[in-house]
Structure 1
Amino acid sequence: MAITYALVSLILATLTETMESTYPGVFSSGSIGLTFLSLAIGNTVALIFYSLTSDRYMIHQRETKGDAFKPESRLVHLLLAAVMLPLGFLIYGWTLQSHVQYIVPLVGACAAGFSMTLSAIPAETYVVDTYEIHGASAIAAGVIFRAIAGAFLPLIGSPLYQSIGQGWGNTVLAFIAAAFIPPLGLLMMYGDWFHSKEQFGKSGR
């Protein structure tokens, strides 16, 4: 979740400069702010999607698995978000590089915003389910890490784009995002084993 937040923060920090330099004359100093609606739309769609699917999926899981239900079942939405984020960066970066009509890179930014919100909600719910009475402390630790990552990672945005371009720069970011998909898959499969090795995990108490 922290990496997703930091990577999307990088888009937020560089979006104005990027769109103005890639599409000179298209945006005025006032209209450039409208480009941020792409991220807001992604956030909103993610909220609607999660609200429509999460409870139904969890009810189905509890009915089919009963006592065997695991908190890792909540990570299905997080897995979708983890896949959407690198796709969003690839669309955003290479359409900017190719000077495709400006709405297309904004679709990529929208996908990144979708991923940010869709990863945040199930991640925090999973932490609460896993650590129970220690959930607030675990979430607080995650928020601190997210804030630190969100503060420093965007600083590399402009130098990265200037050195290797929008296409490859965002491809690097997509690879960083994609690198967390396999660990997430392992957590979904073997999460209960990991918790058994922890002091505060549900299985470890």
Structure 2
Amino acid sequence: MTEVGPFVPEEVNFAPNDPEYPKNWPDSRKFFIVLLVSGFGFLTPATSSMVAPALDQIATDLHITNSAESQLILSIFLLGLGVGPLLLGPLSEIYGRAPVIRWGNLFYLVFNTAGGFARTNSEMLIFRLLAGVGGSAPLVVGSGVISDCYHPEQRGFAVSIYNIVPLLGPALGPIAGAFITQSISWRWVFFIVSLADVTLQLMAAVVLRETYPPVLLEHRKSLLFESTGNPNLRTPYDNERSRDLRTVLRQSLFRCLQLLVTQPILQVLAIYLAYVYGLIYLVFSTFPSVWETQYHQSSTIGSLNYISLGLGYLSGSLICAVFVDRIYGELKARNDGRTEPEYRVPIMAAASLLVPVGIVLYGWSAGKSLFWLITDIGGFIFSCGIIMIMQSVNNYVLDAYPLYAASAIGAVTVVRNIPGVVFPLFAPYLYDAVGFGWGGSLLALVAVCIGFPAPVIIWIYGRRLRISSQFASNNERE
């Protein structure tokens, strides 16, 4: 090699204690970035559910007479959340996490604001769908940010924060939505969320930094080339990253589908997560009718029962924050310091018991109009299990697919959101046909049939499947 300027090694990489390597950043910087991404992640799910108490007024103003069409205003947002990761997840692995979060949320901001001005059902559905596409950015890229910033044994707390905040959105959003709708107008539900998003965008301009190592190394290589003129500089990721726009878009659309089709691990987890996520929005969509018809509460008072779901999410997240990393560390110590993504599975297995128990208690107590606190306890147990499952799955995917974390999460998210769209549409018909009690029992039975085998399959066969995969890690990759 002919040197030009001072000697520079041909491979551009991070040194072990490199301060520019995200895993070596100060804890305070990483914590604020996680909080900011979680803030974006709060607004997006809040947008999905804040309209639930306002559906009747929206239907009246937009001349909607069919209940399924009315429910579609709630759930079509999730379709956008499912489509967005097909593009945004892989794009973040090519152009970086920060630009995708910023531009995705700007797209979300425009169409969420437009939803407040909708005059027809078609306009509302289009605006909600497109807002969901943009709003998916922090939900799929956020996991990649955590993977970039934290070592596996440190991720449990960060993942707990990242997961609990977005799930508090759909739990607390309807409370705010009910009071805003009654006090001002349902249109201000959209406007107030947009104002909050503008605030976060301004904070992101100051706090948010790029975390994806391949993009950081590419930038470092460009600076070194400018100063040295060395044409042989390479990063460890150069062979995996294309700069041609058409190639990038083709790879972006293809990688999520490729992971989903070729990775049995992701298939199992996607089906598992899809069902429990569908249950979340089935409960959200029927919550107003439970409290208004079974307990004869007003829409605003009835919306306060969403607090039970929020407390369940918070409790489950705290359980994960305390025990996930502890269990991971103990299993690592027992295996001579060897790290395995399967160390995340014990919490997943325990949570699989809570979901059917909670949904049965919720359904039968609501169906019999028992003391309202019993119904809320059922919702609490159910939501506690849900968040524990979601955090366990996210932790496992981050550990198993460290280089393709955003695409892997995106693949799971695509499948996960489909039941979130569909379940609210048939929920009224299910409960009208068999009642809340038997409807809850049927849903719990399916949860048992799907939820119990999934952790067992991952625990027994996970490592074998990873070893045979070209995308998954055989052991921890830094």
Tell me, yes or no, whether TM beats 0.5: yes
Q: CA RMSD in A?
A: 1.7
How far apart in 1 are the matches of 2:376 and 2:277? 18
CA contact (8 A) 2:292 2:299 kept: no
Read off the aligned partner of 1:124 and give its amino acid letter.
N
Q: Match of 1:167, as an amino acid?
A: G
Conservation of the 8 A alpha-carbon contact between 1:4 and 1:115: no
CA distance in 2, matches of 1:117, 1:66: 31
Q: How does 1:37-186 map to 2 (within 5 A)?
A: 37-180=307-450, 181-186=452-457
Greater helix percent: which structure?
1
Q: Aligned partners of 2:337, 2:326: CA distance in 1, in Å?
A: 18
* Superposed CA offset, 1:141-175 (max 9, x none): 11222222211122111100000111110111101
1:93 and 1:168 in contact (8 A); partners too: yes
Contact kept in structure 1, 2:331 and 2:343, CA below 8 Å? yes
Deviation at 1:106, TM superposition (A): 1.1
1:23 paired with 2:286, answer no
- Residue 68 of structure 1: CA displacement? 4.5
Aligned to 1:198: 469
1:10: which partner in 2?
282
Q: Could you tell which deviates more after superposition, 124-133 or 182-191? A: 182-191
Residue type of the alignment partner of 1:190: Y
1:81-129 superposed Cα distances (whole Å, 9 cap, x missing partner): 2111011111111112222101101111111211221111121110111
In structure 1, what is the Cα distance between the partners aligned to 2:408 and 2:354?
A: 25
SS at match of 1:30: helix
What CA distance in whole angstroms lies between the structure 1 residues aligned with 2:454 and 2:330? 25
Return the alpha-carbon distance in structure 2 between the equivalents of residues 12 and 113 of structure 1: 11
Identity of aligned residues (%): 26
Q: Once the two structures are superposed, what CA deviation does each residue of 1:12-55 show, in whole Å capped at 9, x if it has no partner?
A: 1101102211112xx22221110111100001111111111112
Letter in 2 for 1:186: I
Which structure would you say has the larger RCO, counting Cα contacts within 8 Å and 6 or more residues apart? 1
Cα drift, residue 183 of structure 1: 2.9
Larger radius of gyration: 2
CA distance in 2, matches of 1:144, 1:158: 24
Pairwise CA distance, 1:70: 2.2
Separation in structure 2 between the aligned mates of residue 29 and residue 132 of structure 1, nearest angstrom: 45
- Counterpart of 1:188 in structure 2 is 459
| Gap runs ≥5 in structure 2 | 1-272
Gaps of 5+ in 1: none
In the TM superposition, what is the alpha-carbon distance from 1:67 to its structure 2 partner?
4.8
Number of equivalenced pairs? 202
CA distance in 2, matches of 1:203, 1:63: 18
Query: Aligned AA for 1:189?
Result: I
